[in-house]
Amino acid sequence: MTTKNKIFRNLGLILFAVGVLLGMALIAVTIWTDLEASFFDSMTASRGDDPLKTLRCPVLMTTSETGTISATFENTTDKPIELMLRAHVTDGFVTLMREVNTTLPLEPGEKKTAEFLLYANDRAYRWLILARVLQARHYPFPARQAACGVLVLDVPFLTGNQLFALTIAVTVLCLVGGIALWSVANWPLRRSALAAARTMGALVVCLAIGFFVSLSGAWLIASLLFAINLLLIIEVLRQTMS
């Protein structure tokens, strides 16, 4: 292997490693926040008959912004209704909560989104905001509830959504660029190099699946995929370093 190819090979491995670390960090954050949220405000959780599947929360917030969580509700009956909504949010400590109550009038067939504000001072453990939203029972609709967590970072000049999008972009660029450089350095790909490239590709796919699963709130499945990713990382190291 020429000196130029060795440089490309090492640079490709470094870029790929950075992408993998960022991808694993994103998955770990979403798993951690959802896991913490699942234990938050257990009394309200016990009052829900069904999950509130429309609850949407940002993954990240920065200390300089006000965040928002939202949930969408639809009146599928032929009569106007008024839903009672309650949100509990950590108030500086995981054992303290502030409560927000509101009503949401809905005409027949109407769909509306209710929003609740999050503030940097809400965070518990200095990093995490936990929230749980309950829609009270209103015939024929059962009581529904869901919870989520938001990681708060002290990053200037960026919002949480901008930081999240930037992290995803850097992750994708590093993964794709790393594989491309490594493949160029080892071209043509022979048996061992081809096997390593396939394992790297499998790791990228598994990272993507784990990321989207973790965003859906299925933290148990995401945890299993996280463990599979760790095994793939070990295999990539074995194949590329041999």
Q: Render 160-220 in DSSP notation, one character per residue.
A: HHHHHHHHHHHHHHHHHHHHHHHHHHT-S--HHHHHHHHHHHHHHHHHHHHHHHHHTT-HH
Query: At what angle are helices 219-241 and 191-215 packed, to 10 degrees?
Result: 160
Per the listing, tokens 């029972």 go with 137
Q: Which range has the worst mean pLDDT, 76-85, 122-131, 161-170, 178-187? A: 178-187
- Per-residue confidence band for 43, with pLDDT thresholds at 50, 70 and 90: confident
Structure-token pair, residue 196: 């390593």
- Measuring CA to CA, how many Å separate 80 from each of 103, 110, 161? 13, 9, 35
Q: What are phi and psi of 147, to 5 degrees?
A: -135, 160
Burial 178-187 (b: 16+ CB within 10 A, else e): bbebbbebbe
- Separation CA 225–CA 169 (nearest Å): 21
Residues 6+ apart with CB under 8 A from 114: 70, 71, 72, 73, 85, 102, 104
**Mean of the per-residue pLDDT values for the chain?**
90
* pLDDT confidence of residue 4: 65
Question: Which residues, listed in sequence order, are joined to residue 73 by a DSSP beta bridge?
Answer: 112
Asked if the model's pLDDT at residue 241 lies above 90, the reply is no
> Where in the chain are all domains bearing CATH 2.60.40.10?
34-153
Tokens 């990681």 belong to residue: 151
Is the pLDDT score of 18 beyond 80? yes
Quote the pLDDT of residue 146: 94
Classify domain 34-153 at the CATH class level.
mainly beta
The pLDDT value given to residue 218: 84
CB 164 within 8 A of CB 59: yes
Q: Which range is least confidently modeled, 12-16, 48-52, 184-188?
A: 184-188
Residues 80, 78: Cα–Cα separation, whole Å: 7
* Structure confidence at residue 1 (pLDDT): 57
pLDDT value for 147: 94
Structure confidence at residue 219 as a pLDDT band (50, 70, 90)? confident
**What percentage of the chain exceeds 70 in pLDDT?**
97
Residue 30, pLDDT score: 93
Q: What is the mean pLDDT of residues 87-95?
A: 90
Which string of b and e fits 141-152 if b means at least 16 CB within 10 Å?
A: bebbbbbbbbbb
pLDDT of 229 > 70? The answer is yes
| CA dist 157 → 42, 58, 109, 121, 162 (Å) | 36, 17, 41, 18, 10
What global pTM score does this model have? 0.86
Is the pLDDT score of 46 beyond 90? no
Cβ–Cβ < 8 Å for 60, 150: yes
